[in-house]
Amino acid sequence: MYAVVETGGKQYRVAVGETVDVEKIAQEPGETVVLDRVLIVSDEGNVRIGQPVVDGAAVSATVLRHGKGRKVVAFKYKAKERYRRKKGHRQEYTRLRIDDIQA
């Protein structure tokens, strides 16, 4: 059984027992989060597709930890003009463990 959920403007395919890194959620580690924007639920070939979400479906997950992703470097320059700009960014994320999918 798997589901496709939307959180933080992105979509994730999740199954029970998996861990997934999502955009940062304002919950403390150890707390339970309910993701109610479920777009697709599949149970052994029986697929339910939402319009835009599946009615009555929810995914519960436990917050494992918060962290920062790898650094992304944005560098721009103009040739022969002594113009260089370097900027770095590290996106914050929350690691979730999927506990249950209610369909």
What pLDDT score does 45 carry? Answer: 85
C-alpha span between 23 and 33 (Å, rounded): 13
Q: What is the pLDDT of residues 89-100, one digit of tens each?
A: 999 999 999 999
What pLDDT score does 89 carry? Answer: 98
Q: What is the pLDDT of residues 71-87, one digit of tens each?
A: 999 999 999 999 999 99
Mean of pLDDT values over 14-40? 96
In the chain, what is the greatest distance between 2 CA atoms, to the nearest angstrom?
A: 61
Amino acid at 10: K
DSSP letters along 15-50, please?
ETT-EEEEE--S--TT-EEEE--EEEEEETTEEEE-
Q: Quick check: 103 pLDDT over 90? A: no
**Is the four-CA dihedral 58, 59, 60, 65 of positive or negative sign?**
negative
Q: What is the pLDDT of residues 50-60, one digit of tens each?
A: 999 999 999 99
What pLDDT score does 66 carry? Answer: 97
Residue listed under structure tokens 């944005």:
74
